[in-house]
Amino acid sequence: MNETKFCNLLTVEKNYREVHGPLSVIVCVFGSVANILNICVLTTKEMRWPTNFILTGLAVADLLVMLEYIPFSFHRYHNLEQRDYIQHFSYNGAVFMKFHALFSQMFHFISCCLTVILAIWRYLAITSPHNSRYWCDTRKTITVIVLTYLACPLICFPLFISLHIASHNQTCDINDKIIDNDTGLVFMNSSEVFYKTIYVTTYINDTYLTWSFWIYAVVIKLVPCVLLTYLSQKLVLVLLETKKRKNKLLNQNLPLTELKDSKPMMNARKKDKQADRTSGMLVAVLLLFLLTEFPQAILGFFGAIIGDKFQKQCYEPLGDIMDILALTNSAINFILYCTMSRQFRTTFQEVFKLNCLLRFNPLSQYTNASEKATEKTQISAV
């Protein structure tokens, strides 16, 4: 009886793996520097808002994920002459692979949860500004961030206990490269026939594997995606409705001849621009989150339903591609903040003394002072 074929992605996996190693290192180095810059800017006195505390917690989680991925990339994708035998089959290599699987998943889950919390905080600030001052103050925000960092490892605990390091003997011949049936990895040529004890990180049994995929696909991936999609949609609708209502009030209260150059209209235009930037950031973050998280959630969900064959044929060959998408999403927030928040750009220039070139312009000091006085908007990544 023919084995069911769900996907044929081995060629895609093989071709992309050649570039994934150096590409992931480049993305991680850039993302690590970018998130350090985010932390430096968001923790300044002028930027200590509840929303920015969440962004700081998000930057810390993303930074840890990328710092850990750099040695993993060298361990897995570099040193090609020795990686098949020494790195994958040594005991230390198996320990590191287990650590990577747990560490990266835990802090990426923290990042997803903080993104959802950020959306909730922003939604409350727009729909119930008076109540949000009580429920979303600095003290409660820090408490929620700390609880997130403590609760996510507990939710990921079943993943911790589902993996173990197994050992078994394998025959290696002088002229043959023997493929291990459990891992699909290849031994290097040896100088003689011998038995070698190898170590691999694997699931304890099929039951642990199934439960791990259910937790991963539904709790860690699918639930945050659904929540953030719903909240982001509500936020965009509220922003558009608020903008429409303000324009209607201005048209009703001001004569047509005074609309164009009146001070209220100029202030309204500034607020509209801020709303447009916020809406653009909402759409950008939503699309990035959906692009990186939803495919993983859907593939993991089907893997949990269909079983081990789908996981090996469809999910595992796309693992490197999903990794690079997630890393890119973690690294790009700095660009979004600089592009869509003038306050972030101004603070960034002051922290790193990048505005020294403008000191010869006598108008620059007054311009910066005016911007600080008139723009006290919080940065939001949702």
SS3 of 40-109: the string is HHHCCHHHCCHHHHHHHHHHHHHHHHHHHHHHHHHHHHCCCCCHHHHHHHCHHHHHHHHHHHHHHHHHHH
Please give the structure tokens belonging to residue 341: 């928040």
**Mean pLDDT of the 89-109 span:** 85
What is the reported pTM?
Answer: 0.79
The total of other beta-carbon atoms located within 10 Å of residue 249's CB is 12
Please tell me the predicted confidence (pLDDT) of residue 254.
52
CA separation (Å) from 65 to 68, 142, 217, 295?
5, 21, 19, 19
CA separation (Å) from 255 to 244, 245, 261, 264, 272?
18, 17, 11, 12, 20
Q: Quick one: pLDDT band at residue 180, thresholds 50, 70, 90?
A: very low
Highest mean predicted confidence (pLDDT) among 31-35, 78-82, 112-116, 268-272: 31-35
| Residue 253 or residue 298, greater confidence | 298
Statement: residue 32 has pLDDT above 90: yes
> What sign for the dihedral angle of Cα 10, 14, 19, 25?
positive
Q: Write the DSSP symbol of residue 179.
A: B
Highest mean predicted confidence (pLDDT) among 72-76, 264-268, 323-327: 323-327
- Residue pair 14/311 in contact (Cβ under 8 Å)? The answer is no
**Mean pLDDT of the 280-297 span:** 74
| Residue 139 or residue 206, greater confidence | 139
Statement: residue 230 has pLDDT above 50: yes
Q: Which of 11-25, 122-136, 211-225, 367-381 has the lowest mean pLDDT?
A: 367-381
- Looking at domain 10-374, which of 1.20.120.1200, 1.20.1070.10, 1.20.950.20, 1.10.357.10 is its CATH number? 1.20.1070.10
Identify the CA nearest to 146 among candidates 105, 118, 114: 114
Cα 208 to Cα 148: distance, rounded to the nearest angstrom: 25
Cα 51 to Cα 326: distance, rounded to the nearest angstrom: 23
Calculate the CA 87 to chain-centre distance: 28
What H or E segment, with its residue span, contains residue 36? helix 10-42
- Residue pair 5/22 in contact (Cβ under 8 Å)? The answer is no
- Residue pair 197/212 in contact (Cβ under 8 Å)? The answer is no
| Residues 309-334: tens digit of each pLDDT | 777 788 888 888 889 989 998 899 88
CA separation (Å) from 249 to 10, 137, 361, 372?
60, 31, 40, 28
Q: Quick one: pLDDT band at residue 365, thresholds 50, 70, 90?
A: very low
Q: Where are the domains of the chain?
A: 10-374
| Residues 369-380: tens digit of each pLDDT | 444 444 444 444
Cα 380 to Cα 241: distance, rounded to the nearest angstrom: 19
Looking at 254-316, list the stretches that DSSP marks H as alpha helix, in order from N- to C-terminal side.
263-306, 308-310
Calculate the CA 206 to chain-centre distance: 29
| Residues 277-287: tens digit of each pLDDT | 655 666 676 67
Cα 38 to Cα 52: distance, rounded to the nearest angstrom: 10
**Mean pLDDT of the 356-377 span:** 43
Statement: residue 255 has pLDDT above 60: no
Report the alpha-carbon angle 134-138-143, nearest 5.
100
Residue ranges with strand state E in 209-366? none
Identify the CA nearest to 121 among candidates 149, 92, 142: 142
What H or E segment, with its residue span, contains residue 121? helix 91-127
Cα 223 to Cα 26: distance, rounded to the nearest angstrom: 30
- Residue pair 246/188 in contact (Cβ under 8 Å)? The answer is no
Please give the structure tokens belonging to residue 196: 């070698």
Statement: residue 357 has pLDDT above 70: no
| Residue 353 or residue 71, greater confidence | 71
- Residue pair 119/232 in contact (Cβ under 8 Å)? The answer is yes
